């Protein structure tokens, strides 16, 4: 529950960046590429620091990491309410919020992987559904706050909510069940014939020498590119079609709601069918949704896009951490997942900037969404060719046999 609440507040706020895009542009007259660049910088810092956050989580657990990140994230939103120039936008959003968001994804999902041997994908999906709940609630609330008060007030209130919820939730987090004298769900310490085979896993150095590592990282980059291109620009796109900002926020919220079902249902199927197959299916849906978006003009078509898109990225996201555990084990899971998440954030930093640049040149998003769909197709191909790693184990003799 603590991890769920962190995802609701952290990523619900983070996915609301598109809500602030046009109000801020209206006041300062900056380009969409400029605004998207601040988000891209936050993603780059998110990815780079996520590597170190994963390593720290492997050593000391999630509590300090999440509490520290929550402080930076809340402070960044508070400072965003005071911006008056581009350098402040890039410092407060790009750097400080980038630091704040860096610990959430890798730290919490790596912790979930340590708590569950069975139903790992299902539980990852349930916890990650917090991002969908946050996307369902926070963008419409932020839109209402902007319309009723101002975008500066909206940033202040987001900051206060983040500082309180993330800090309190962090106090409840523990690295693994051994801290409470428990075993991970689905694990038994009963040896067979006096011998226990324990999954050890691969180090980062060993993993990085395999094609599986680079295929997984490249697939994650494709997901980040397509997903955040849409998350940042879907609200401006809907308003460009003549709909109100409130309606546009609802379109994004529908995607958030659909992602809840995607994370839970596809996480459940991943435990039964395997994470690789579920990710292939998710990428197929992602490509279909983006091709559909290119020609979507009617509101019903935009809502249909949101349902497919949200379900797709929700399901793929729920399988990321379990896929890394399936491929490389848990020995260095936080660090390896941190590296793979860097590739995700690299893609997520490029997609929104490219979409903003294309809009500035052409005054529409059609070419950008087509590129996003093609990148999703590449993600399908990458997941099709990836193969499982041989399990790496060591043998531990039980006390009874010694």
Six-digit token string for 372? 């996003």
Q: Is 171 helix (H, G, I), strand (E, B) or coil?
A: coil
pLDDT at 197: 42
CB atoms within 10 A of CB 205: 8
- The model scores a pTM over 0.85: no
Residue 313: is it exposed, middle or buried by C-beta count within 10 angstroms (0-12/13-18/19+)?
buried
Is residue 186 included in any domain, yes or no? no
CATH number of the domain where residue 367 is located: 1.20.1250.20
Q: How far is CA 284 from CA 69, 117, 290, 365, 385, in A?
A: 34, 28, 10, 21, 15
How many structural domains are present in the chain? 1
Is residue 183 included in any domain, yes or no? no
pLDDT at 191: 46
Is residue 10 included in any domain, yes or no? yes
pLDDT at 91: 96
Is residue 8 included in any domain, yes or no? yes
Alpha carbon distance 340, 8 (integer Å): 23
Alpha carbon distance 12, 255 (integer Å): 12
pLDDT at 62: 83
| Angle formed at CA 75 by CA 74 and CA 77, multiple of 5 degrees | 65
Is residue 43 included in any domain, yes or no? yes
pLDDT at 183: 61
What is the residue-wise DSSP string for 118-138?
SSHHHHHHHHHHHHHHHHHHH
HSE, CB side, 13 Å, CA atoms: give it for residue 60: 7
Domain that holds residue 302: 2-177+192-401
pLDDT at 175: 67
Which of 263, 267, 236 is CA-nearest to residue 249? Answer: 236
Is residue 68 included in any domain, yes or no? yes
Q: How far is CA 371 from CA 195, 231, 366, in A?
A: 53, 15, 9
Handedness of CA 375, 13, 363, 298 (dihedral sign): positive
Is residue 337 included in any domain, yes or no? yes
Is residue 270 included in any domain, yes or no? yes
- From first to last of the 402 residues of the chain, give the pLDDT tens digit: 778 888 888 888 887 888 898 899 989 988 888 888 898 899 889 888 888 887 787 787 788 888 999 999 999 999 999 999 999 999 999 999 999 988 777 777 777 777 776 676 777 777 777 877 888 888 889 989 999 999 999 999 999 988 999 888 888 877 666 666 666 656 655 544 444 444 467 888 888 899 999 999 999 999 999 998 998 899 889 999 999 988 988 898 888 888 888 888 887 888 888 889 989 999 999 999 999 999 999 999 999 999 999 999 888 877 887 888 888 887 777 788 888 888 998 898 899 889 989 999 999 999 999 999 999 999 999 999 998 877 655 443 333 332
């Amino acid at each position: 529950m603590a991890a769920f609440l962190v995802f609701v507040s952290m990523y619900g706020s983070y996915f609301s960046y598109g809500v602030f895009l046009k109000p801020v542009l209206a006041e300062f007259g900056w380009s969409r590429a400029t605004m998207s660049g601040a988000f891209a910088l936050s993603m780059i810092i998110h990815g780079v620091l996520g590597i170190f956050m994963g390593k720290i989580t492997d050593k000391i657990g999630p509590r300090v990491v999440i509490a520290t990140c929550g402080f930076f994230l809340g402070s960044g939103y508070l400072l965003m309410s005071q911006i008056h120039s581009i350098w402040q936008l890039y410092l407060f959003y790009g750097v400080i919020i980038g630091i704040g968001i860096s610990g959430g994804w890798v730290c919490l999902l790596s912790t979930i992987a340590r708590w569950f041997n069975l139903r790992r994908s299902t539980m990852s999906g349930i916890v990650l559904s917090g991002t969908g709940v946050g996307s369902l609630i926070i963008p419409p609330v932020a839109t209402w706050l902007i319309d009723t008060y101002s975008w500066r007030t909206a940033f202040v209130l987001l900051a206060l909510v983040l500082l309180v919820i993330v800090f309190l939730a962090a106090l409840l987090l523990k690295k693994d069940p051994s801290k409470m004298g428990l075993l991970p769900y689905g694990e038994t310490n009963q040896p067979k014939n006096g011998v226990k085979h324990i999954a050890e896993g691969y180090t980062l150095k060993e993993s990085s020498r395999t094609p599986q590592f680079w295929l997984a990282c490249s697939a994650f980059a494709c997901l980040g590119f397509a997903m955040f291109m849409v998350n940042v620009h879907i609200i401006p796109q809907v308003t460009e079609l003549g709909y109100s900002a409130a309606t546009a926020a609802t379109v994004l919220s529908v995607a958030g709601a659909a992602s809840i079902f995607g994370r839970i249902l596809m996480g459940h199927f991943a435990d039964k069918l395997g994470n690789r197959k579920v990710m292939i299916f998710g990428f197929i849906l992602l490509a279909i949704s983006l091709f559909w978006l290119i020609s979507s003009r009617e509101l019903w078509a935009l809502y249909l896009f949101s349902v497919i898109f949200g379900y797709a990225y929700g399901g793929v996201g729920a399988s990321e951490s379990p896929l890394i555990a399936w491929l490389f084990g848990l020995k260095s899971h936080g660090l390896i997942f941190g590296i793979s998440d860097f590739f995700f954030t690299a893609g997520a930093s490029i997609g929104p900037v490219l979409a903003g640049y294309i809009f500035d040149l052409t005054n529409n998003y059609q070419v950008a969404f087509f590129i996003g769909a093609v990148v999703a197709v590449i993600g399908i191909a990458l997941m099709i060719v990836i193969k499982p790693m041989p399990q790496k184990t060591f043998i531990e003799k039980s006390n009874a046999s010694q």
